[in-house]
Amino acid sequence: MGGLANAPSAWIAWTAAALIASLVHVLIDFHIGLYGETSTKMSSLQGANLFLTSLVYGYWIYAVAVAGFGNRSALVSALVVAALWAFLWNGVIGLMISPPPSSAFPYQDIAHVSSIVFGAGASAAIWRASRSIATEASWTMLTVTGLILVSAFVVQSVLGLRHA
């Protein structure tokens, strides 16, 4: 089990909370039309956003599941997603970029602050858990994590700018 079997599993609870807070944030963004109006037709950019956002969450869940078996690469990947996606992207940057539309107040602010709190908590808990694994992390899973996140960041940024 790579040393993680005997480590406290608080990182899993923190990660689940960060995932929930982050997902609520994204659903609010979709609801208020940040990525375009909802309709029966979807632009290719909206489709890419939907796909990439879903891929981030699916990959995050996959990384946590694999990390539970003591895989350090998966644990570090979960750390990267929690820190960059939940804490930074959906939390800090989302809160700092612009005030939410009045129709989203206070839900969007609560979602941003929740992403900051739980994203930071998950990152810290995962960091502590990763210290119990002696093996080195493979760059393959970390590279995939980076590619998925950068792609999602770019598409969401373009959509956000088009509909701001």
Quickly list DSSP for 133-152.
Answer: --SPPPHHHHHHHHHHHHHH
Please report, to the nearest 10 degrees, the dihedral formed by the alpha carbons of residues 140, 141, 142, 144 taken in order: 90
Phi, psi of 3 (to 5 degrees): 90, -15
Instruction: Render pLDDT for 2-30 as a digit per residue (tens, 0 to 9).
Output: 556 555 689 999 999 999 999 998 888 88
Kind and range of the H or E element at 156? Answer: helix 139-162
For residue 56, which of 32, 40, 78 has the smallest C-alpha distance? 78
Q: How confident is the model at residue 1 (pLDDT cuts 50, 70, 90)?
A: very low
Of the candidate ranges 78-82, 121-125, 143-147, 154-158, the one whose mean pLDDT is the lowest: 154-158
Contact 104, 32 (CB under 8 A): yes
pLDDT above 70 as % of the chain: 90
Mean pLDDT to the nearest integer, 102-121: 87
Residue with structure tokens 């981030």? 56
Please name the residues in contact with 116: beta carbons below 8 A apart, sequence gap of 6 or more: 87, 91, 92, 95
The residue with tokens 């940057």 is 93
Token pair in block for residue 77: 């990947």
Alpha-carbon distances of 16 from 57, 67, 77, rounded to whole Å: 11, 13, 15
Query: What pLDDT was estimated at residue 130?
Result: 87
Categorise residue 36: left if φ over 0, alpha if ψ from -120 to 50, beta otherwise: left
**Rounded distance, CA 143 to CA 137, Å?**
11
Residue scoring higher pLDDT (64 or 160): 64
**Which tokens sit at 152?**
């999602």
pTM of the model: 0.87
